[in-house]
Structure 1
Amino acid sequence: MMARSSADDAELKRACEVAIEGSKHNVVLSIRVAKSRGIFGKSAKLGRQMAKARVLAITTKVKGQKTKTFLRVLKYSNGGILEPAKIYKLKHLSKVEVIQYDPSGSTFMLGFDNLRSQSVSPPQWTMRNKDDRNRLFLCILNMSKEVLGRLPKVVGIDIVEMAIWAKEHTTISTNHTRTEDGVATSVIVQSNTQVTVEKDLVSQAEGEDMEALLGTYVMGVGEAEAFSERMKREIQVLEATNVYALLESENLIEEALQGLEGENICVEDMDMWLSIFNVKLKHMREDIESIEARNNKLELHSVNNKRLCEELDKLLKKLYIPPEFVASLTGSSFDESHMVKNIEACDWLCGAIRRLQVPDLDPLYTNMQAVREKHAELEKLKNTFVWRASDFLRNYFASLVDFMITDKTYFSQRGSLKRPDHADLRYKCRTYARLLQHLKSLDKNCLGPLRKAYCHSINLLLRREAREFANELRACTKVGKAPTTWFDSAAGFAPSANSVETAALSEVYSKMLTVFIPLLVDESSFVAHFMCFEVPRLSNGSICGSDDNGKTDSGHDSGGISGSATELGSLNESLQELLNGIQEDFYALVDWGYKIDPLRCISMHGVTEHYLSGQKAGTTGFVRLLLDDLETRISMNFGRFVDDCIYLIEKTECNARQVGVLPYIPRFSILATRMEQYIQGESRDLVDQAYTKIVSIMFVCLERTAQIDPKYSDIILLENYAAFQNSLYDLANVVPTIAKFYHQASESYDQACTRHINMVIFITFERLFLFARRIEELMFTITSEEIQFQVGMSKADFRKMLKASLSGLDKSINAMYKKLQKNLTSEELLPSLWEKCKKDFLDKYGSFVKLVNKIYLGERVPQVSEMRDLLTQM
């Protein structure tokens, strides 16, 4: 009895159904196999070690009226659970081959015709025995014939042997008919093998014949040779019967041949007539093609001639020069009344030259003699007109400015301050704005001399207006002389904070900027527009120029704007010629205000900063440069004033025994108060820098003066630092820079007070604190108990020292007070110094008492509270 096959394992079938759940596939057969790619020429043991366990499952899927069959390969996961590995369609199964090298016959290969890579050998499948192999083959062949209607090629096994095996292993068969989606399917259930075969490999008649043949073989045939002879005899009988049947039908064959011969003659006649007609049609086709070619050429000639006439008419229009335009370009006047015709002639000339150039003109026409002649004629007209117009405009610009300069009513006069007005000048210039645009289109090189001539003429006018306006401003402004030296101790002058009112200086400077900065901005913008510079315009209508750092007024890099770098360079050169020299009159006004009141540089600096920040987005580069130069000039003048103050502070001579407050301390407070009154806008930084320089030098000089006589050093320092704090207390609350130096002076004052008070205390109670210092020094080398056994440190020595130091204590304290009062010129500092002196003395005495109680146990020493009461009573 053979071993139970895995095809009969219901658990295996259920595991396969679970693995392919959701695919709508029905499992017909499932069987275990071993997968390998080895060659059976090596040891069988090695091949089995390399094999992988797999499960082959034959599945079906019903889709509509069709049934599809599949061969699925399932593998075991790490947890021993089946999972799908590969799927093949049985319709692509082309070959089933049993491996001949395997002596058991259980290894086979399945060949599919749709594999992507035919270079890789297909896997080899190994069954447990031949019975499992035959059951799988029988199921595959039955499914292929029933569903697909064809059988794959079988290599290495006899199909008859398969049929015999199927019959031997099928004992009881029950034929059931089930209906799936309207399709009847015959299913044979075999009881002992449990193999399900869909329909038969052969028909019923073929099966009966095969059974009879096999029965004969089993019952009467003993040897294969006898069976072969019998089969040969039967074949010969059949062949003879076929030959006899053919001989009986000879008459019919002759009649058919005669009919075919007659039809062949008709076909030959038809072929001859068709060849004749073909020749005639060929000649007719050639005649038609010749006629069409001649017609096409005639039509092409006609179209070309028409287009040529049109092109010649267009070219003649381009070459025509109206005589009225020639008269305007060569001899017409440039008066305002004739400018309309001149502009029309310029428009025509620009268009005519453009029409005779590529791309408006076809490149084929550029070498035509007529085109070259007309082009040369137009160039001659252009050069003549450009020369005439340039000469007229140069003279016109110069005459306009000369007329305004000779008329004194255009400028400020004695007692009459007049704002410059260029409205009439610009109106007259705008008459020729279109003419300049046409000149640029005709010849760019002609604009250079015209721009230079215009800027030179306007520069003369602007400098004259600025000079007359500034002179009249100075003449009509009445101000007194303000102090220019604040720290000169020899002069003995102590200026007050509001001694001289010089506010008019700031008003004069502000008025100068108010009048001329907008005028210069407008002139720069007008030049850029009027002289046809290709630079973009800002939203407020002004021109975006660039400064000397290559940055545009709008804050962007000049390389990113639409105007070319050449145009920007030319614009900057023209603006420099336009504004060159006008800064001298602004410098003169600044220097005039500095001579009267150097502190007015602060307010002028604030006004300049205001205009510089307010006009930055709309001014041209050179107007900003002018404001920058003015700011630098003001800063330089104010810096000179600060340097003079520093020089006078350093020059102050102090007697070695001089005490009291140095003169530059209170004078600086007055100066700082005045400077704070002049601050406007963003001039805070200028003043803060001056504070830093002056106060730093003041403190350095104060420290140097204090070191002349070390005996009075701390007194000089504390008195002067106190005076600095007292005089600048209000300003320190509102000015951060003054507050910084105020705190510095406060720290230096505290340090000087501490040093001076310590000196007074030490001198008054010298023996007491020397004895305490000796104890502290000995504590570093010996223990506290051994100190009283040292020379001069016994209890007797201690009592003697204590009696000498504290006897007549009220006199000692009075002496300490008088010593503190001695050489102090500022009496208002004495109460605070005395309070600090008493506090420091009590702290030092308390440390002494703690030290004594630790070293000299049981000795009677006045306590700190007793000393405090005594100081309070005094």
Structure 2
Amino acid sequence: MTAIKHALQRDIFTPNDERLLSIVNVCKAGKKKKNCFLCATVTTERPVQVRVVKVKKSDKGDFYKRQMAWELRDLAEVDAKDASKENPEFDLHFEKVYRWVASSTAEKNSFISCIWKLNQRYLRKKVEFVNVSSQLLEESVPSGESQSVAGGDEDALDDYQELNAREEQDIEGMMEVCEYAISNAEAFAEKLSRELQVLDGANIQSIMASEKQVNILMQLLDEALSEVDTIEGKLSSYEEMLQSVKEQMDQISQSNRLIQISNTNNGKLLDEIQFLVNYMDLSKGHIRALQDGDLSSPKGIEACINASEALLQCMNVALRPGHEKLMAVKQQQHLFTELRDTFARRLTNHLNNVFVHQGHDQSSTLSQHTAELTLPKHSPLHRDLLRYAKLMEWLKNTQREKYDGLSRTYVDYMTRLYEREIKDFFEVAKIKMAGTTKEGKGNKFGLHGSSGKLTGSTSSLNKLAVQGSSSRRSQSSSLLDMGNMSASDLDVADRTKFDKGEVESDGGVPSRQPPPGEHRHSMKDMVRLMMNKIFQSIETELNSLIALGDKIDSFHSLYMLVKMSHHVWTAQNVDPASYLSTTLGNVLVTVKRNFDKCISGQIRQMEEVKISKKSKVGILPFVTGFEEFAELAETIFRNAERRGDLDKAYVKLIRAVFMNVEKVANESQKTPRDVVMMENFHHIFSTQSRLKISCLETERREAKHKYTDHLQSYVINSLGQPLEKLNHFFEGVEARVAQGVREEEVSYQLAFNKQELRKVIKEYPGKEVKKGLDNLYKKVDKHLCEEESLLQVVWHSMQDEFIRQYKHFEGLIGRCYPGSGITMEFTIGDMLEYFSSIAQSH
């Protein structure tokens, strides 16, 4: 066991600054035997800590390891099981009970004795030893192995220490002298024992020699022990006094703690009272305002607003837990509820009366505004109502049912007021629109048979350009720029009257600007619903007015499309979901439908045009109709938002014009097809070049191409072969050349010799040529119309074609009859003079 103790001290406890005082070999009771060691240790540093350490061999068995440790101060009880009989079992009560079985009773007793001594020396809290003999606790453990392990007394515990370096060196030197010290430990131990006995004998002799000094020393020790007992007595009395002081201090501390708790509670109670007084107290002035405040005067309304907000703040205060159980709080809440209900009734009755009075307001009638065609202003009414905005908001937050009832009352009476005014307004607008209109003749700007004319003139269109819709008004100035419209069957400029009127209105529902966020959206939705009810007749009346305007003249849809689109665009920029934006958007759908119907009507009229079989065609009516439509539309749609709609209509109309021009040209009997195509496409090309409509650039080029082609075709077909026999002669010459006859040998052909050529040329003297050209001029003049002024253009083209044929004949004569001296009876100069004199004579 000594060797084990030494090994444990060296390997486990010395590195942890601990000293091993006692050791016992144990195993757990009632389980498979697994031996371990319980060690009693103390630290080498102050303050001293005493532990019980469980040490176990490693699984490989070559070294020991520290498995568990308990502080001795945590030991509650040591149970030795039996105080009178030898028994190796014992229990140690820490946080739980550990039951052990020692390898021998001696080791167990030695270990328990060491624990008792450590407890007596180092612990104020004494461990309870059960079933342990008093002799074991009072006396030292007998000599032997146990003595060497546990020590004999408390001094032994303190005096035990490790070997110092010098002592280890001496022991190593001694072991080197005795070579058998390692191989024969028993012999070495006997040798050491003998030497120890010799030394003990020498010591005893020395002690006996100094007996007198020993006796003196013992006497001094006795005196010291007596002094120690005296000091211990005083220390005990001091300890009792300190214990009394400690108890008194504990009582004082407890008393101070109670006082502090009381002060804290009083402070919290004061805070609660101040909270209730500050947030649940309504001034007498506010109470008077809620009960009897004047809801008609500005000062009275302001006082009621302040009082209602203060009341709402008191009612909405967040009470802390337990407040609702206080009688004072209940009384205040009951008072607040009565004040709220009383004021809500007063406010509801007063506003009901205000709404009824405003709903029957007759102070401003439409008859006073017929000159400028504007709705009556209700700004004074709105200003009166805006004073109650905060009170209405308070009513909405506190008495939602009363608020909803008031809203319904307001909507009901305002609906009656505005419905009456709106109806009167649109009646006046309709009268003004149709007041100067003559008996309806359908679409007066439509296409009327073969006359080929839209009513109106270039001068009136110039007026239109000045009076048109180029100046755009903002939404704030008008609801719809209509009214004061008097159409005329004789003047295009009358249409502009449809574009002059202005309808002014002050809106309807007065409301404050709502705060941002979700509440703002809900406020907008509520206002929109109210406006839908109040102004429910606006959309119907607008559609009725638009239908009347369309009935008077379908071209009014152009003005309406531009104006309504502008108002919708302006309203949507302010708020895309507003009531005005939605209503005007719905009306715009109707206007767009009328516009599309107008375009379809124009196309249908093109298809239904009938041309007289007895007179020449000239410029077709729908061609001039498209020209005047384009001039009118360009004036109306200048800088308009819905330009795209007009461009689409242009494309539809021009394609219909192209198709129906060809249709009429194919059906024409009096006028040649080429003339119909040439004149009309020349007119279309001129119109598009003048107006510069970008979306019709492709059609402009196509019109030019058609005009040029049909001009050339007409010239060739009309001019024909003015020198017919000469033409036939040279056609035969070209045929011979084509068959392989060389050009210079053609004159040797019998039918095409020089003699035959001279005969043919003599049949076309200058006088006959001029006569034929004069007849041709008269024929062309009959075909062409005066409006387009293409006669000189056609005549000049015929001149060019005649000269081309003349030069062709001269070239054939030069190549096929070289050196013959044969020439035409007239020259190019003569021919130019013929064409010029004929043109001037007519």
Superposition TM-score, scaled by structure 1 size: 0.52
Q: 1:433 aligns with which of 365, 389, 405?
A: 389
Structure-2 residue corresponding to 1:353: 315
CA separation of 1:870 and 1:422: change in aligned 2, threshold 3 A? same
CA separation of 1:757 and 1:506: change in aligned 2, threshold 3 A? closer
Do the aligned partners of 1:607 and 1:681 also contact (CA within 8 Å) in 2?
A: no
**Are residues 1:702 and 2:661 paired?**
yes
- Written as runs of structure 1 = structure 2, the 5 A alignment for 1:659-670 is 659-661=616-618, 662-670=620-628
Structure-2 residue corresponding to 1:455: 411
Q: 1:753 aligns with which of 703, 711, 729?
A: 711
Amino acid at match of 1:752: H
Q: 2:250 aligns with which of 280, 289, 293?
A: 289
CA separation of 1:632 and 1:694: change in aligned 2, threshold 3 A? same
Q: CA deviation at 1:703?
A: 1.4
Do the aligned partners of 1:486 and 1:667 also contact (CA within 8 Å) in 2?
A: yes
CA distance in 2, matches of 1:502, 1:657: 31
Structure-2 residue corresponding to 1:311: 272
Structure-1 residue corresponding to 2:798: 834
Give CA-to-partner distance per residue, 1:412-444, whole Å, 9 cap, x none. Answer: 377686662222212321332232122133234
Do the aligned partners of 2:293 and 2:304 also contact (CA within 8 Å) in 1?
A: yes
CA distance in 1, matches of 2:817, 2:588: 77
Give CA-to-partner distance per residue, 1:196-229, whole Å, 9 cap, x none. Answer: xxxxxxxxxxxxxxxxxxxxxxxxxxxxxxxxxx
Q: Which shows bigger deviation, 765-774 or 444-453?
A: 765-774
**Are residues 1:465 and 2:421 paired?**
yes
Amino acid at match of 1:289: D
CA separation of 1:706 and 1:276: change in aligned 2, threshold 3 A? farther
Amino acid at match of 1:749: Y
**Are residues 1:382 and 2:340 paired?**
yes
Structure-2 residue corresponding to 1:495: 455
CA distance in 1, matches of 2:217, 2:805: 160
Structure-1 residue corresponding to 2:81: none
Amino acid at match of 1:692: V
CA distance in 1, matches of 2:571, 2:639: 15
Q: CA deviation at 1:282?
A: 4.8
CA separation of 1:713 and 1:510: change in aligned 2, threshold 3 A? closer
Amino acid at match of 1:431: R
- Written as runs of structure 1 = structure 2, the 5 A alignment for 1:141-152 is none
CA distance in 2, matches of 1:646, 1:793: 58
- Written as runs of structure 1 = structure 2, the 5 A alignment for 1:84-123 is none
Amino acid at match of 1:353: M
Q: CA deviation at 1:698?
A: 1.3
Amino acid at match of 1:714: D
Structure-1 residue corresponding to 2:534: 578
- Written as runs of structure 1 = structure 2, the 5 A alignment for 1:335-734 is 335-336=296-297, 339=301, 342-355=304-317, 358=318, 361-366=319-324, 371=329, 374-375=332-333, 378-379=336-337, 381-402=339-360, 404-405=361-362, 407=363, 409=365, 411-412=367-368, 420-444=376-400, 446-472=402-428, 479=436, 481=438, 484-489=444-449, 495-497=455-457, 498=459, 500=490, 506=496, 510-513=500-503, 515-516=504-505, 519-520=506-507, 523=508, 526-529=510-513, 534-536=514-516, 561-563=517-519, 565-613=521-569, 616-618=572-574, 621-654=578-611, 659-661=616-618, 662-679=620-637, 681-682=639-640, 685=644, 687-708=646-667, 712-726=672-686, 728=687, 731-732=690-691, 734=692
CA distance in 2, matches of 1:508, 1:614: 21
CA distance in 2, matches of 1:835, 1:372: 116
Do the aligned partners of 2:290 and 2:343 also contact (CA within 8 Å) in 1?
A: yes
Do the aligned partners of 2:290 and 2:339 also contact (CA within 8 Å) in 1?
A: yes
Amino acid at match of 1:742: R
**Are residues 1:742 and 2:704 paired?**
no
Give CA-to-partner distance per residue, 1:231-281, whole Å, 9 cap, x none. Answer: xxxxxxxxx9xx99xx99x99xx999x999989959967984667655644
Q: CA deviation at 1:354?
A: 1.4
SS at match of 1:527: coil
Unaligned 5+ runs, structure 1: 1-239, 537-560, 777-786
Give CA-to-partner distance per residue, 1:474-493, whole Å, 9 cap, x none. Answer: 65687565971431116786
Q: Which shows bigger deviation, 698-707 or 278-287?
A: 278-287
CA distance in 2, matches of 1:375, 1:768: 125
CA separation of 1:640 and 1:589: change in aligned 2, threshold 3 A? same
CA distance in 1, matches of 2:345, 2:528: 25
Unaligned 5+ runs, structure 2: 1-194, 461-489, 786-790, 832-842
SS at match of 2:667: coil
CA distance in 1, matches of 2:275, 2:709: 103
CA separation of 1:277 and 1:353: change in aligned 2, threshold 3 A? same
CA separation of 1:270 and 1:613: change in aligned 2, threshold 3 A? farther
SS at match of 1:512: coil
Give CA-to-partner distance per residue, 1:479-513, whole Å, 9 cap, x none. Answer: 56597143111678652324655767656754424
Do the aligned partners of 1:725 and 1:745 also contact (CA within 8 Å) in 2?
A: yes
Amino acid at match of 1:457: Y
CA distance in 2, matches of 1:476, 1:838: 64
Superposition TM-score, scaled by structure 2 size: 0.54
Cα RMSD, aligned residues only: 5.5
CA distance in 2, matches of 1:298, 1:640: 96
Q: CA deviation at 1:663?
A: 3.3
Query: Identity over aligned residues, as a percent?
Result: 15
Do the aligned partners of 1:505 and 1:600 also contact (CA within 8 Å) in 2?
A: yes
Do the aligned partners of 2:611 and 2:668 also contact (CA within 8 Å) in 1?
A: no
Give CA-to-partner distance per residue, 1:592-614, whole Å, 9 cap, x none. Answer: 55455554544454444554555
SS at match of 1:653: coil
- Written as runs of structure 1 = structure 2, the 5 A alignment for 1:42-191 is none
